[in-house]
């Protein structure tokens, strides 16, 4: 004869299987009768659609402005207006961490007006980092070296897509071949420390460079050029 423990476990198993079968049968009935969920009122559907539409077209949450420090596109709710008299002490705290080329980014009087009622927009990430005496994450490595829009000639602001493509064909590009991460120092995969020789620079239009600029015998070596 079976032990009482075996009988008890057998009974429990039958109860579990019976409950699962009943649940499955109920789901089949709900699916057939479309009663598995309560119908939503028409007013709620219209309100949800209108609310979604209004939020999608809310200029306060659309990235229509930019931060003058990191130059990333930001929404108006993510930036605040600053005056140079208030911003300058924060900048002085992080000035020692900047190179001479990076400091030129903050020297633009159009982006950072020193006098007058005009202010400038700074995002929350940059302001919080500067308040902590740190360089904003978006400005680390060499991002500030790109400079602001006023650094470039006005003739380059209204180029057609074809003109941009023709100029881009002959602008050298850099191919990063290696990252060096020092385990003993406070560096990780997000902090990229470049070393000399780790970036190979080559033009976009390699074929025209070899055939028209470099000596003609290089054409024979075109297939052997590797980056």
Query: Domain range for residue 115?
Result: 65-151
Residues 69 and 146 in one domain: yes
* Residue 20 within any structural domain of the chain: no
Domain's final residue, options 136, 151, 166: 151
- DSSP states of the chain as a string? ---HHHHHHHHHHHHHHHHHHHHHHHHHHHHHHT-SSPPPPHHHHHHHHHHHHHHHT-TTTS--EE-TTT--EE-GGGEEEE-HHHHHHHHHHHGGGS-HHHHGGGG-TTTS--SSS--EEEEHHHHHHHHTT---GGGTTTGGGG--GGGS-GGGTT--HHHHHHHHHTS-EEEE---B--TTTT--TTS-B--TTSEEEE-S-HHHIIIIIS-GGGGGGGGG---
Q: Give 96-126 pLDDT, tens digit per residue.
A: 888 888 888 898 899 999 888 889 999 999 9
Per-residue pLDDT band for 220 (boundaries 50, 70, 90) equals low
Are 146 and 75 members of one domain? yes
Judgement on whether residues 145 and 167 belong to the same structural domain of the protein: no
Average pLDDT over residues 5-10: 85
pLDDT tens digits, one per residue of 150-178: 887 887 778 888 787 777 666 666 655 55
Residue 23 included in any domain: no
Q: Do residues 147 and 165 share a domain? A: no
**pLDDT for position 15:** 92
Q: What is the average pLDDT across 76-99? A: 89
Q: How confident is the model at residue 218 (pLDDT cuts 50, 70, 90)?
A: very low
What pLDDT digit, counting tens, does each position of 196-214 carry?
555 566 656 666 655 665 5
Q: How confident is the model at residue 227 (pLDDT cuts 50, 70, 90)?
A: very low
Q: What is the pLDDT of residue 99?
A: 82
125 and 162 within one domain: no
Task: Please report whether residue 74 resides in a domain.
Answer: yes
Would the pTM of this model clear 0.95, i.e. be above it?
no
Is 126 a domain residue? yes
| Position 81 pLDDT exceeds 60 | yes
More confident residue, 86 or 227: 86
pLDDT value at residue 190: 52
Summarised one tens digit per residue, pLDDT across range 15-64 is 999 999 999 998 888 888 877 777 778 899 899 999 998 888 888 888 88
Count structural domains, the chain: 2
Residue 159 lies in a domain: yes
> For residue 179, is it within any domain?
yes
33 in a structural domain: no
Residues 137 and 109 placed together within one structural domain of the fold: yes
């Amino acid at each position: 004869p079976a032990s009482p423990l075996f009988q008890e476990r057998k009974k429990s198993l039958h109860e579990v299987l019976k409950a699962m079968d009943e649940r499955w049968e109920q789901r089949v009935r709900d699916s057939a009768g479309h009663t598995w969920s309560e119908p939503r009122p028409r007013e709620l559907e219209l309100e949800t659609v209108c609310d979604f539409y209004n939020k999608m077209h809310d200029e306060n949450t659309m990235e229509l402005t930019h931060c003058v420090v990191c130059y990333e596109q930001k929404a108006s709710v993510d930036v605040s207006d600053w005056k140079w008299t208030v911003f300058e002490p924060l900048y002085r705290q992080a000035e020692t961490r900047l190179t001479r080329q990076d400091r030129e980014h903050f020297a633009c009087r159009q982006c950072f007006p020193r006098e007058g009622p005009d202010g400038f927009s700074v995002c929350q990430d940059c302001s919080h980092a500067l308040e902590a005496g740190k360089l904003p994450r978006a400005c680390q490595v060499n991002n500030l070296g790109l400079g602001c829009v006023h650094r470039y000639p006005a003739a380059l602001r209204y180029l057609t897509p074809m003109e941009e493509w023709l100029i881009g064909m002959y602008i050298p590009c850099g191919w990063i071949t290696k990252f060096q991460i020092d385990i003993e120092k406070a560096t990780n995969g997000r902090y990229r420390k470049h070393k000399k020789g780790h970036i190979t620079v080559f033009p976009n239009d390699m074929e025209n460079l070899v055939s028209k600029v470099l000596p003609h015998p290089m054409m024979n070596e075109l297939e052997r050029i590797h980056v």
